Amino acid sequence: MNYTCTLNPSIDYIMHVDAFRAGDLNRAANTAYFAGGKGINVSRLLNRLDVETTALGYLGGFTGTFIRETLESAGINHQFIEINEPTRVNVKLKSGEESEINGPGPSITKEQLALLLEQIRNLGKDDVLVAAGNAPSSVPADIYARMADICEKNGTRFIADTSSAALQDLIGKRMFLVKPNHHELGELFHTTISSIEDIVSYARKLHETGIENVIVSMGGEGAIFVNKYHAWKAETPKGTVKNSVGAGDSMVAGFLAAYEKTTNYEQAFTYAVAAGSATAFSDDLGERQDIENLVSQVRLTSI
Ligand SMILES: Nc1ncnc2c1ncn2[C@@H]1O[C@H](COP(=O)(O)OP(=O)(O)OP(=O)(O)O)[C@@H](O)[C@H]1O
Ligand SMILES: O=P(O)(O)OC[C@@]1(O)O[C@H](CO)[C@@H](O)[C@@H]1O
């Protein structure tokens, strides 16, 4: 079973404002609400690809109820731990360019943390855990490192998609996949990345720390894949970008879904890029058919 863990889920409140003016009363032309948070996005996309998942993490209050009901109506399994404070609302303002304001999120108690780690201890060698997104400040900074240790002990495949600061604590841990973008990769190595050669070289360094598969995304500029056997650069399909929220999460879900079906890295990376682009070209996460229509436009070159 694939498990996703979202420590700090969100309702993503999308506001389209024609010409946003800071300091004025602005009226949105239209708005939308989505159940969000990186792990939840991975679960939602996997579900669209007919891959079963169970979403873990914390939900609370009326916002938590919205997320739970949204997942249930899509048929997505979950085992969220109920908390007292409401789940955050993240504002995604679209006015020509995209601006995001993400809330800090609720506090998590020691008991609630222990419950989650117990759930993770119960995963086995046939399971995959995708731990994604920012952790609320009440959660110890080494939470992902603790999860990685538990997964290594139990043979559970571990995937992390989080900020460069959290990824820093994971260096040296065994992981199946990480997917930083090129800015996060630079931050991880305290450097500014300015060329494809730099990206490949730092992606290899990351792989050598114990990460089986490294994808570095570069928005519309493509993506890099490095593992023990292959190194590729992908060109992304061309299209009209509507939304970049969840594009990175879609790559993780696309890789996982295609790898599970084919155990072929080329197909998994191609599908990951198509999934990222399908989301970039949609208002919400991409649909399965959109992804499949884009697969033939993803070009890989060996590097
Ligand atoms: N402008 C674009 N055109 C085509 N594809 C895109 C574009 N932007 C993003 N994508 C697709 O989405 C993938 C992930 O994008 P990006 O590098 O922005 O991830 P990210 O920074 O992790 O995003 P986020 O955190 O917003 O989910 C890219 O590798 C690509 O496949
Ligand atoms: O604050 P975090 O956890 O880093 O990111 C949260 C978030 O921006 O990431 C997702 C897109 O990747 C959104 O659904 C959500 O609002």
Average pLDDT over the chain reads: 96
The whole-number pLDDT of residue 166 equals 87
Is residue 87 in contact with ligand 2, taking CB distance under 6 Å? no
Catalytic residue among 127, 161, 249, 290: 249
DSSP state letters, 121-156: HT--TT-EEEEESPPPTTS-TTHHHHHHHHHHHHT-
pLDDT at residue 194 greater than cutoff 90: no
The per-residue pLDDT for range 126-167, each reduced to its tens digit, is 999 999 999 999 999 999 999 999 999 999 999 999 988 889
Q: Which of 181, 193, 282 to mutate to test the pocket of ligand 1 (most atoms within 8 A of CB)?
A: 181
pLDDT at residue 248 greater than cutoff 90: yes
Residue closest via CA to ligand 1's atom 20 equals 248
- Residue spans of alpha helices (H) in the chain: 38-48, 61-73, 110-121, 143-154, 164-168, 182-188, 196-208, 247-262, 265-280, 288-295
**Which domains, ranges and CATH numbers included, belong to the chain?**
1-19+29-160 (3.40.1190.20), 179-303 (3.40.1190.20)
Active site residue 249: yes
* Average pLDDT of the residues in 89-93: 98
The per-residue pLDDT for range 252-294, each reduced to its tens digit, is 999 999 999 999 999 999 999 999 999 999 999 999 999 999 9
The per-residue pLDDT for range 34-84, each reduced to its tens digit, is 999 999 999 999 999 999 999 999 999 999 999 999 999 999 999 999 999
Counting ligands in written order, the one closest to the CA of 239 is 1
How far is ligand 2, taken at its centre, from the CA of residue 3, in Å?
Answer: 18
